[in-house]
Amino acid sequence: MTRYILRRLGVSFLVLLGGSLLLFVLTINSGDPLEDLRESNAENRDYLIQQRTAYMGLDQPWYSRYWDWLTGVSKCVALNCDLGTNRNGVDVGSMLGAAASSTLRLVVFATVIAIVVGIIVGILTAIRQYSGFDYVVTFLAFLFYSLPVFWVAVLLKEYAGIEFNNWMREPTLTPVQIILIAVILGFILQAVLGGHWKRRLLTAGIALVVIAGALAYFSSVEWFRRPMLGIGFVALVGIAAAVGSTALFSGINNRKVLYATLTTAGVGILAYLPVRPLIDEPTWLLLIGLFVLTIVVSYAIGWFMGGYSRKAAANLSLFTGVSIAFLTFIDAAVAHWGSMLALKPRPISTIGSQTPNFPGGFWETLLDLGAQILLPTIVLTLISVASYTRYTRSSMLEVLNQDYIRTARSKGLSERVVIVKHGFRNALIPITTIVAFDFAGLIGGAVITEKVFGWKGMGEMFETGLRAVDPAPVMAFFLVTGTAAIVMNLIADLAYAALDPRIRR
């Protein structure tokens, strides 16, 4: 394995080197970097031309300029990168740091959400092949996959941004709106759960009544301006996470695991009472410390209570504990939604990655950053989740038709064990490739999304450098995206070996 990794790294280095040389030559020959100054009527035009020539090294041959860039990149081995300056003399390394942090914040959220939602929906459609739910999801997947990114972004800016901000002035729902939303969600829920038509009708009816009642209550108390979850909601979802994860991955009859996860949920609910006031105005160090403590305590409960299933109990207890910690975090955040609205009456931002000079505290600032990232994240998620859903469905269907799956069913194993332990793991192997390349591709592929929403990220830096015939920002973009593609591809290869031990040979 070590020789394989070293060989792959060596080949990848040669690919990066050849790609960087080709991109550098294409960039510097794509136009005249002094065109705007040659046409200028400024009195100091000659001085500006000399200054830009010095910044960009235009008085040197192309291979000398490329060698200077390559020499600066080689210093990254000693963590002292020198990526040169752009045509205005600004250090490209500092530009890259700001752009990469902005883009990664966007890409990571979108990719994680798309992976989780896409894989779950893909598994459900594979299990319920040719059902109404499968047809609807397939139609939506093809629809989202074929939609132009800029068109989706513009629609979201109009209806999920501008119109939502207008609605937040008086966030109330009319009876017609409440019934319409409840009918749509009830229809979706019965399609997901499936079953006989009587069961579907009962599911849709119960969902319609519950959702309509909840929306009517929220509208009457202005919950959308002053939201709150509370310990009741945290306890309900925490217990559901404990029971649901146990039933899915270990079986509800495994009492050791069930008691361990329920104990973890109980400890988390009790911890909510002292922790919630503590994080009313927290620091990141405090939140990280509490998260680490959650991991240690949850894993320890599962390990010591799990008995012969201690590994499964520890992992599922960890999932339960982290779920409750996340809900507590969300509860503290949404409790400050009203104070954020007082500082920013139009909460959903449509331009930029942050609000300049925002005066809020910890939670208000965090909510503002979340509002800034919301719309571009939805755009990238919608496009990516469609492909993940189709790939997962196809992979699961192929695996479920294999002989070892039929053998597992003939041995009397439950459908849960067949799907989760025998089918899903093997279906992940081709999906791993898609995840790796999609993450690397999104870093460079968010150019259009960043342009529409005014984000100063990697895409904007690449576009500006290319338009100005400035190779330094373009090469910095290539360095990050090319390295990300190679690293993610290598991680995918290692994941193959973890998922299928036969590949290690």
Model confidence pLDDT, tens digit, residues 28-42: 988 888 888 888 787
Could you tell me if residue 203 is inside a domain?
Answer: yes
Residues 6+ apart with CB under 8 A from 493: 4, 8
pLDDT at 440: 66
Q: Tokens for 172?
A: 């109330």
Could you tell me if residue 336 is inside a domain?
Answer: no
| Residue 325 Cα distances to 188, 305, 318, 366, angstroms | 29, 21, 10, 17
Closest CA to 366 of 100, 105, 115, 154: 105
Q: Is 384 exposed, middle or buried (0-12, 13-18, 19+ CB in 10 A)?
A: buried
Segment holding 336, helix H or strand E: none
Could you tell me if residue 74 is inside a domain?
Answer: yes
User: Picking from 264-268, 271-275, 374-378, which range would have the lowest pLDDT averaged per residue?
Assistant: 374-378
Closest CA to 392 of 433, 354, 362: 433
pLDDT at 441: 66
User: Picking from 202-216, 251-265, 457-471, which range would have the lowest pLDDT averaged per residue?
Assistant: 457-471
Return mean pLDDT, the chain: 86
Highest mean pLDDT pick, 122-136, 196-210, 276-290, 354-368: 276-290
Average pLDDT, stretch 366-381? 87
Is residue 317 predicted with pLDDT exceeding 90?
A: yes
Highest mean pLDDT pick, 71-75, 188-192, 239-243, 482-486: 239-243
Inter-residue contact 376 to 156 (CB < 8 Å)? no
Residue 433 vs residue 404, higher pLDDT: 404
In the chain, the number of structural domains is: 2
Could you tell me if residue 26 is inside a domain?
Answer: yes
| Residue 217 Cα distances to 43, 167, 433, angstroms | 69, 17, 46
Could you tell me if residue 459 is inside a domain?
Answer: no
Is residue 70 predicted with pLDDT exceeding 60?
A: yes
Q: Sign (positive/negative) of CA torsion 254, 257, 263, 265?
A: negative
pLDDT at 1: 65
Could you tell me if residue 106 is inside a domain?
Answer: no
Closest CA to 212 of 179, 188, 172, 177: 179
Residue 493 vs residue 175, higher pLDDT: 175
Separation of alpha carbons 369 and 355, rounded Å: 8
Could you tell me if residue 86 is inside a domain?
Answer: yes
Average pLDDT, stretch 260-279? 94
Could you tell me if residue 252 is inside a domain?
Answer: no
pLDDT at 500: 66
Is residue 306 predicted with pLDDT exceeding 90?
A: no
Among 196, 221, 246, where does a domain finish?
221
Average pLDDT, stretch 396-415? 85
List 91's β-bridge partners, or say none. 85
Average pLDDT, stretch 274-296? 93
Among 221, 256, 284, where does a domain finish?
221
Percent of the chain with pLDDT over 70: 96
Inter-residue contact 407 to 361 (CB < 8 Å)? no
CA 120 to chain centroid, in Å, comes to 15
pLDDT digits (tens, 9 = 90+) for 143-174: 888 888 888 888 888 888 899 999 988 888 88
Supply the DSSP string of 425-441, one letter for each residue: HHHHHHHHHHHHHHHHH
Local confidence band at 503 (pLDDT 50, 70, 90 cut-offs): low
Within 10 angstroms of residue 479's Cβ, the number of other Cβ atoms is 19
pLDDT at 273: 92
pLDDT at 30: 86
pLDDT digits (tens, 9 = 90+) for 320-332: 999 999 999 999 9
Helices (H), 147-283: 149-156, 163-167, 175-193, 197-220, 230-249, 255-278
Average pLDDT, stretch 388-403? 87
Structural domain including 181 reads 172-221
Average pLDDT, stretch 267-295? 93
